[in-house]
């Protein structure tokens, strides 16, 4: 198996971190289900919103909510503060901008 160190030594990448970042980017592209599973895990273990989880997964808000409910995970809906609502709005705007 080829190691990140060998790819750097061959001059194909500037450092091992670049190799790992590229490998993860390609992994997310080739296996979108991993990205979805990771975002659901993040939703369950961190205080992130459904909108943030959807953005991490690369799916719509409604699709993320549906996936959570299919797994028996009750979505936390609605921001508790104005700051949280503004943050959720920023995430949605960034997601929409990235798709255009």
Q: Output helix, strand, coil percentages for the chain, rounded to the nearest 5.
A: 70, 0, 30
Task: Assign 12 a pLDDT band (cuts: 50, 70, 90).
Answer: very high
Q: Which domain holds residue 67?
A: 36-99
Considering the domain architecture, whether residues 63 and 23 belong to the same structural domain is answered as no
Considering the domain architecture, whether residues 59 and 88 belong to the same structural domain is answered as yes
Considering the domain architecture, whether residues 17 and 46 belong to the same structural domain is answered as no
Name the nearest CA neighbour of 36 among 57, 13, 65, 67. 57
Considering the domain architecture, whether residues 50 and 74 belong to the same structural domain is answered as yes
Task: Assign 84 a pLDDT band (cuts: 50, 70, 90).
Answer: confident
Considering the domain architecture, whether residues 43 and 87 belong to the same structural domain is answered as yes
Query: In the predicted model, what is the mean pLDDT of residues 5-25?
Result: 96
Considering the domain architecture, whether residues 72 and 42 belong to the same structural domain is answered as yes
Considering the domain architecture, whether residues 23 and 48 belong to the same structural domain is answered as no
Considering the domain architecture, whether residues 56 and 95 belong to the same structural domain is answered as yes
pLDDT at 44: 95
Considering the domain architecture, whether residues 53 and 87 belong to the same structural domain is answered as yes
Q: Write out the two tokens for 91.
A: 């995430």
What's the structural domain count of the chain?
2
- In angstroms, the CA 33 to CA 59 distance is 11
Compute the residue count for the chain: 100
Name the nearest CA neighbour of 88 among 34, 47, 49, 32. 49
pLDDT at 56: 92
């Amino acid at each position: 198996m080829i190691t990140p160190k060998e790819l750097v030594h061959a001059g194909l990448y500037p450092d091992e971190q670049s190799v790992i970042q590229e490998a993860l980017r390609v992994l997310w592209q080739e296996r979108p289900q991993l990205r979805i599973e990771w975002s659901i895990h993040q939703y369950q273990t961190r205080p992130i919103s459904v909108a943030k989880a959807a953005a991490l997964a690369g799916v719509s808000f409604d699709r993320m909510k549906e996936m959570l409910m299919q797994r028996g995970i009750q979505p936390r809906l609605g921001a508790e503060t104005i700051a949280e609502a503004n943050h959720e709005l920023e995430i949605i705007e960034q997601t929409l901008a990235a798709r255009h």
